[in-house]
Structure 1
Amino acid sequence: MEVMTTPAVPDAPRIPEAVHRRRWAILGVLMLSLLIVVLDNSILNVAIKTISTPEPTGLGATQGELEWAINSYTLVFAGLLFTAGLLGDRLGRKKVLLAGLAVFGIGSALAAQSGSPAELIGFRGLMGLGAAFVMPATLAVLMHVFEREEQPKAIGIWAAGVGLAVAIGPITGGVLLDHFWWGSVFLINVPIVIVAIGLMIVLVPDSKDPKPGRIDLVGVVLSVVGLVLLVYGIIKGGQLADFTDPTALATILAGLAVLVGFVWYEKRSDHPSIDISYFKNRVFSAAITAIALVFFALMGVTFFAVFYTQSVRGYSPLETGLLMLPLAVAQLIFAPRARLVVDRFGVRAVCAGGLTVITLTLVAFTLLDADTPIWVMEVIFFFMGAGMAHIMTPTSVVIMQALPREKAGSASALSNTFRQVGGALGIAVLGSVLSAAYRGGVEDELKVLPPGARHTAGESIEATLGVAGRLGGRGEALVSAANDSFLHAMHITALCGAGVALVGVLVVSLYLPGKPPKEKLTSADAPAPDRVGADR
């Protein structure tokens, strides 16, 4: 105990004084970089309907092409995050951040000028490549410019930025689509990237891992291929409303087999992308699982909520974005303060409470019908944001402090990999449940159409409404059937999401730590050996 209570040595500061003084300005630059990367996924949601319309207004993208426009970004992002974290550890986080921002900016400019859905999917993948190098480096730099006692507060602000970006993306997209063409939702990234690069060059210090790991190319290929096959099979099964279809089932099984091979290879590799031994720590595993399940539910909900507001309720893209504002407000209010709740009640109680709130909000989506007062959805979104805030902050702190500071890039990448994989699977699984349930509800009404047109018209509510619009007066019954079928499918999907969140409640209740006794808090908060010279 004597060592733990000895005052820090001022002659050997671990963080240079000049860096310490500008740490909050550095956090601001990191938040700006993080904002555009996370915002890009949610900003696309409100543009889906516009992009699906024929040229010159949109690209005439099909339902499948729209899903891949979202998932090409997410899967490249998730598949390369860990390798990007290792490259940051090896080459320097600042260099990797600058390169990632540049690639992201170039990909955004190209995506804005896409002339076909295929081009958009490809350029979105390029944007995902750049984003993969930005996100883990932001949290790794944060861990190097803040002392351990300030890290929970800084991570809380960082986590609030993630939630804020998810929520304000639809608002930003709605404003742009009200005044400009669909490509503006990507082009807006370019000036922000330029500003972020300039500020980063001036303010952000570089850092490396003195003992970086080797790059695991085989692991990267196996993880990306496995995820792409799995997600493709899930989406295909949803489009066909038949997950036992040979093509869908074979692709899902192949994806799972490749992912099992990935885990087998990683356990035997001397330079794995993911150190499987981390998961022997049950606290670490539970925190990672909680993040994945939260984003599984959130991204799936965001996906169907946009169709509910625009297709069923008739709101514009801008109005849809504004309706999601309570989600952002709750993040801003609660995320920076979540650490105070953790200090009082402990990580387990706070995370279990947050996931319980999310479970209940997902169940509450079953209350929404075509004429439900819209304020009901606003209340649901607010509580969902509050629940998220009380999960993201404590789990991020647990994950980042579970590994040595030198491995900050790897810890950040692992956390964000599971966040993105959770989100991608949420869109794929819940989107497929939505698609399958919708087709099952509307297919009887589609018998008025020629046999060749029925399958395409039943893929989504947008496809059905498009066909109904061309039928004139005869299409009114089809519009009513489409709305009823979508609402039924949305309720089923929301309950599936609630089931996933409930699993998260059980995981964190069993494995995350409770509130430690007061005498243990004193020793835990005392300066650790790696914090010599940390106090100012």
Structure 2
Amino acid sequence: MTRRHLTLLTVCLAALTINANTTVVNIALPTLAEELDAGTRSLLWIVDGYNLSFAALVLAMGSLSDRFGRRPALVLGLLGFAVANAAAAMVDSSEALVALRFVTGVSAAVIFPTTLSIIANAFTDRRERASALGAWGASVGVGVAAGPVIGGALLEHFSWHSVFWAQVPLALVTAAMALVLVPESRDTGVPRIDKPGLVVSVAALGTLTWTIIEAPEHGWSSLETVLGLALAVVLVLAFVLVERCVEHPMIDVTLFLDRRFSAACGAVTIAFFAMFGFIFLITQYFQFIQEYSPLQTGVRFLPVAVSLALASVAGGLLAPRLGTRLVVTPGLVMLGSAFLWISTIGADAPYASVVVPQMLLLGSGIGLISTPATESILRVLPPARAGVGSAVNDATRELGGTLGVAVVGSLFASQYGDRLVALAQGRLPDGVLAEASDSVGFAYGVAQQAPPFRAALDAAFLDGLAFGCVVVGVLCLLGAAAALVALPGDRYDPSVDPTLVEEEQGVATSLR
């Protein structure tokens, strides 16, 4: 194995580590709901605290790693990641866990941009880079999809604290590998961090996520929700204006005028919006509706992990030959179709004949989207500025994941709560029913003591799941239509020197 491939192995392991962190926690949500007395909104924040700080800071951290060195950033990020997970393993309240999830997300934001930057600098030929990105995409997908398997195995034998302790040695081993195997690279011409842009972007993402997660509590048409969404829109517009005015913007917003860049970012955002929303809901479906143990639940995610990994590699190989459009568009169609199919699932749906095909369709769709879209994003910028391109790609992933959990979780919570109150009114004391409509974990605990309540509870849960899945499915199909129009159909031309192409792109970028 060559030095470049050992470098690739290291960054893929780093990508797998931080992406598994999100979903390894998802499998513990029912346990956390019971042991930490966490309601649906608290569970959403436990997942999205990590995603939000990750998404908000990844652009700035990508720029800093470009400037001061990608290997030091990778090592320091992994060490911080290990410390934050060790601290999370020792807390005893949902509030403290949410706070540490934010801290862990900061470390992930330092790590993730370096992985793509290192690949872009190590693999300059398009076909080699596409293959490397396929391996990277597979590691990201496997991390996200295999997290529930790992978490389930841990929870089968240990407490929920183990899902955090287990990530500590993995991060430390990866940091040691990075010190030995990853070559140093940097771009000394990167300007200082864009502080105004950073502040406004964090405010915009935080306002939007908070408003969506809290919407079921206040009501989607309430003054708090409407004002929160309006403020988020204003802050997004302010971010665009700030980035157009400052001398050295955090991101050159004119990059989004390039179809390869903007359409690919949109595709990645939709894919991760769908996947994170799906994992949040289906984990609870398996454990509450079908009453699987954490390990049984985790194992049942394997079809997603395997199909996503295989499709990521296939997407990396097909995109240079067929063009980005002809790979990503079918992926979005497959993803949308999977969600519309999942929306019809019943309480007694057979796993082998119904759930497995749904998961295979979903995982394959995400894999076909992720790698080609990522490659399209990176081709816009030269290798020297790979940190910016990779950070934007990472930001779109985390933004999609953050909003996926927030939106799908909130839509589910609203539909589930309203439906449960309508179906179970008069069967339970008002106080108990109100708490059951706010916490699925509490509701299923009540159902164990009051079996007649179980039918209404299952019906409310499935209504909420169906509502969330239909919204995601329609979004994916709309995204497929947009991708068909906007994504480039360019194929690999072996007569073109990829080095010259990168130099031309570098000149074009410097003129913007």
TM-score by length of 2: 0.94
> In the alignment, which of 265, 281, 296 is matched to residue 273 of structure 2?
296
State yes or no: 1:406 paired with 2:384: yes
State yes or no: 1:235 paired with 2:213: yes
State yes or no: 1:467 paired with 2:446: yes
Q: How does 1:117-516 map to 2 (within 5 A)?
A: 117-149=94-126, 150-240=128-218, 242-375=219-352, 376-444=354-422, 445-469=424-448, 472=449, 475-516=450-491
Contact 1:446 1:478 (C-alpha < 8 Å) held by counterparts: no
How big is the shift at 1:468?
3.2
For residues 22-74 of structure 1, the C-alpha deviation after alignment (integer angstroms, 9 at most, x for no partner) is: 00011111111111100000111110011111xxxx32222221111111111
1: distance between equivalents of 2:51 and 2:295? Answer: 24
Contact 1:291 1:419 (C-alpha < 8 Å) held by counterparts: yes
Larger Rg: 1
Contact 1:156 1:339 (C-alpha < 8 Å) held by counterparts: yes
For residues 364-383 of structure 1, the C-alpha deviation after alignment (integer angstroms, 9 at most, x for no partner) is: 10231011211211111111
Sort the Cα spacing of 1:263 and 1:455 in 2 relative to 1 into closer, same or farther, 3 A. farther
Contact 1:282 1:511 (C-alpha < 8 Å) held by counterparts: yes
2:27 aligns to what?
A: 46
1:528 aligns to what?
A: 500
Question: What SS does the corresponding residue of 2:188 show, helix, strand or coil?
Answer: coil
How big is the shift at 1:388?
1.2
How big is the shift at 1:529?
6.7
Unaligned ranges ≥5, structure 1: 1-19
Question: What SS does the corresponding residue of 1:443 show, helix, strand or coil?
Answer: helix
How big is the shift at 1:96?
0.7
Sort the Cα spacing of 1:529 and 1:430 in 2 relative to 1 into closer, same or farther, 3 A. closer
Unaligned ranges ≥5, structure 2: 505-512
2: distance between equivalents of 1:258 and 1:447? Answer: 45
Question: What SS does the corresponding residue of 1:368 show, helix, strand or coil?
Answer: coil
How big is the shift at 1:163?
0.7
How big is the shift at 1:430?
1.0
After superposing on structure 2, the runs of 4+ consecutive aligned residues of structure 1 that deviate more than 4 Å are: 529-532
Question: What SS does the corresponding residue of 2:251 show, helix, strand or coil?
Answer: coil
Contact 1:75 1:228 (C-alpha < 8 Å) held by counterparts: yes
Question: What SS does the corresponding residue of 1:523 show, helix, strand or coil?
Answer: coil
1:9 aligns to what?
A: none
For residues 269-308 of structure 1, the C-alpha deviation after alignment (integer angstroms, 9 at most, x for no partner) is: 1121121011111221000000001111111111111111
Contact 2:324 2:490 (C-alpha < 8 Å) held by counterparts: yes
Identity of aligned residues (%): 33
RMSD: 1.8
* Residue identity matched to 2:391: A
How big is the shift at 1:147?
2.7
2: distance between equivalents of 1:531 and 1:200? Answer: 28
TM-score by length of 1: 0.90
1: distance between equivalents of 2:16 and 2:499? Answer: 33
> In the alignment, which of 13, 17, 24 is matched to residue 32 of structure 1?
13
